[in-house]
Amino acid sequence: MDEPYLPSPAIPANIRTYGGNAAFHNFHNDYSHITDPNLRRRLALSEIDKVPFGWYHVRAVVVAGIGFFTDSYDIFAINLITSMLGMVFWQDSKNLGVMSTSANTAIKAATSGGAVIGQVGFGWLSDIIGRRKMYGVELAIIVFATLAQSLAAPSPSITITGLLIFWRIIMGIGIGGDYPLSAVITSEFAPTRWRGAMMAAVFSMQGAGQFAAALVALVATYAFRSSFINTTSDWSSCDAACQVAGDRAWRIIVGFGALPACFALYYRITIPETPRYTFDVAHDIEKADADIKAYMNNEAKATIDPITQHRTKATIGNRLSVPTASWPDCITYFRQWQNAKVLIGTTSSWFFLDLAYYGLQLNNSTVLDAIGYSTGKTIYETLLRAAIGNLVLSCAGAIPGYWVSVATIDTVGRKPIQVFGFFILTILFCIIGFAYSHLSEGALLALYVLAQFFFNFGPNTTTFIIPGECFPTRYRSTGHGLSAGAGKIGAIIAQVIAPPLLAKGSVKNCSGSDCSPWLNHLMQIFALFMLSGTLVSLLVPETSGRTLEELAGEGRTPLDEGASRNNSVTMPGSKRRWFAKLNPFGGGRPAGFMWTGNGSPRSSPMLKAMGFGRRERVGIMTSPELLPKDSNPRKSGKHGRGGSDTSESAGGYSVSVTSNPDDFYFGGGTLPGWGAGWAVQRNPGRNGQPGRVQSIKLQDVGSLLK
């Protein structure tokens, strides 16, 4: 005798539930009735991966992005104030108003040195004690160190060089901590379809920070023009009034960087913990559900019954199949070549990138001066042209590059953008390096702007994104911190070698290109670094269109619909050819790409009119009886090997039965990608073939992951 039907737990397929308000979707209680912790975890995380883009995603991008705005502003503002510092504190017979090369190198490298400590330290700590507890701490450090730096003054016992180095190391620790935290928190809250764009949008605020630093320098220079204008192009011509104006100007420029961070500080310290961390590291199922609710409803803290939380964690929390983070587990994980090569790829590609990127970015004014763009007849004109030159580089190269990355990162893929970017930069630096003497000032500026564009529509963006996706949750922040730390080690090396190489062979009281006679050779060296970056980028995986759980090595389920395990887009059931495995540009399935139940992709209206294309997606627990009826049921027929029989059921649904017992769909709508909970009962078939569908019943979904 047949078992009685269980009541359908779901609502009709065309109804959507919302919590909080219309902007913040709420999936808090959708799976609280499921007792199997592994199934409950995958269902809850699947909803985060598939949730439509909403205001809470915009909020996450803005809150994380303001931190990167501040980071970039503080890092690159030093490039604009070194001239002011020189004419204020190095105004003697030896230096003649120009900062010494050793002091210039030490002050610029100090931030990168602190960043290495912050990236590795905060990355490790956020995997140990949680993302939420560390988020905001690094921003508070940045604000404090920035304000202290702007108020620093030398004394008989300590020089301005020592003070600036100390405070920029502290500031660098905060800036370094922002890299893994912002990347990981954004990736763990983002839906798969928009994850790359959200992370790229956060990182694109670095371009806005560079623009703001140049703009504030321009305004400050213009505000004190009366003190700067009565001089010559020689920095030693700066009189007492000029020095006072320069001292005020650099303090205003540096101090302004703390203002945006103050507005973002509150939102950072009140963001809920990421559900992935709560599930996979803390193994706290109830709190993870509550964190999802808090995030979707823009709440600062999740509300949870402590008794229920403790009982659930004690009874079923230890049944989660996710490994616990530990040193033996970490060694075991990274000892495997497929995991070790990812870490090698992310660290080495970021290292080679920052060798050239920071070697040029922190010396933009010097490079602009060398190609003849930032020189002037007076100190005022020189400072003004340097600020305008940096604005041009930001507007024409950096900012467009960032936003082209945002627009294409989820369709083109991370790996193609990174490999192509490194390759183009290799060519550009070779042209500048080997044809330097044959290029005009305009041609050099155009090539340099193109280099800025392909830095950001290229490895500068992707090296930030990929480490935030390709490691498992328990080591994701640490992996990103190690990768970013390797990059900043490259930045330190660049700052040690770039200024001396640029000035090699120059004479005292030089001006323009005479002060940087080795610029062409430096570009040749950077071209070699970019070529090395192209090669090591082949080690990194393509993460586009794949869930974080799939990237972490968990078994793929149809819950991950829209993502491809392979490194190329393939039809379901098809095999990859040997040459596809060798394709360096092979990527995951583009975001939002999904094959429907009949083997056809989501497609255009023309293909839909032919009977192919996208079907209405319904909830994972929706009863088949609630599916919309097919207004145009198809006739039965045979299709390929194994064949399929299509007929119209008594309820008006067209049901397709194939040789695969689990391969069925309803013409009026597509069943969930993973038919969790629904069992198919069939009539006896002939010759060992399955018969027609007799009934579909709700089964014990908890047994599916045992």
Model confidence at 277, pLDDT cuts 50, 70, 90, reads confident
Percent of the chain with pLDDT strictly greater than 70: 64
Query: How many CA atoms within 13 Å lie on the side-chain side of 23?
Result: 9
pLDDT in tens, 470-486: 999 899 999 999 999 99
Instruction: Return the pLDDT at 57.
Output: 82
Query: Residue 620: is its pLDDT beyond 50?
Result: no
Decide: 241 and 227 in contact? Cβ < 8 Å. Answer: yes
SS3 170: helix
More confident residue, 24 or 328: 328
Decide: 111 and 170 in contact? Cβ < 8 Å. Answer: no
Q: Which residues contact 4 (CB under 8 A, 6 or more apart)?
A: none
Q: What is the CA radius of gyration of the chain?
A: 29
SS3 87: helix
Give the whole-angstrom CA distance, residue 237 versus residue 394.
31
Query: Residue 65: is its pLDDT beyond 80?
Result: yes
Instruction: Return the pLDDT at 573.
Output: 42
Give the whole-angstrom CA distance, residue 586 versus residue 567.
5
Give the whole-angstrom CA distance, residue 229 versus residue 384.
11
Give the whole-angstrom CA distance, residue 176 versus residue 138.
8
Decide: 662 and 700 in contact? Cβ < 8 Å. Answer: no
Q: pLDDT averaged over the chain?
A: 75
* Chosen CATH of 55-273+325-539 out of 2.60.200.20, 1.20.58.220, 3.40.1160.10, 1.20.1250.20: 1.20.1250.20
Question: If DSSP states are collapsed to H, E and C, what string results for 233-294?
Answer: CCHHHCCHHHHHHHHHHHHHHHHHCHHHHHHHHHHHHCCCCCHHHHHHCCCCHHHHHHHHHH
SS3 content of the chain, % helix, strand, coil (to 5): 60, 5, 35
Nearest CA to 425 out of 345, 349, 492, 348 is that of 349
Rounded to a whole number, what is the largest CA-CA distance in the chain? 104
Give the whole-angstrom CA distance, residue 404 versus residue 424.
16
Give the whole-angstrom CA distance, residue 360 versus residue 549.
38
More confident residue, 40 or 129: 129
Element (H, E) at 694: strand 693-698
Structure tokens at 296: 């979707």
Nearest CA to 167 out of 137, 138, 141 is that of 141
More confident residue, 204 or 643: 204
Nearest CA to 131 out of 272, 339, 333, 304 is that of 272
Structure tokens at 160: 């301005």
Ramachandran area for residue 531 (φ above 0: left; ψ -120 to 50: alpha; else beta): alpha
Query: Residue 540: is its pLDDT beyond 80?
Result: yes
Query: Residue 168: is its pLDDT beyond 60?
Result: yes
Q: Distances from the Cα of 477 to the Cαs of 59, 66, 82, 342, in angstroms?
A: 21, 20, 34, 14
DSSP string, 456-484: HTTHHHHHHHGGGTSS-HHHHHHHHHHHH
When mean pLDDT is compared over 109-113, 229-233, 345-349, 546-550, the highest value belongs to 345-349
Instruction: Return the pLDDT at 533.
Output: 96
Query: Residue 631: is its pLDDT beyond 60?
Result: no
Structure tokens at 36: 């199997």
Per-residue exposure over 664-702, b if at least 16 CB sit within 10 Å of its own CB, e if not? bbbbbbbbbbbbbbbebeeeeeeeeebeebeebbbbebb
pLDDT in tens, 8-17: 343 333 333 3
Model confidence at 559, pLDDT cuts 50, 70, 90, reads low
Q: What is the mean pLDDT of residues 173-191?
A: 92
In the chain, where are the structural domains located? 55-273+325-539
Q: Which of 8-22, 96-110, 193-207, 220-234 has the lowest mean pLDDT?
A: 8-22
Element (H, E) at 111: helix 101-128
Instruction: Return the pLDDT at 298.
Output: 57
SS3 322: coil
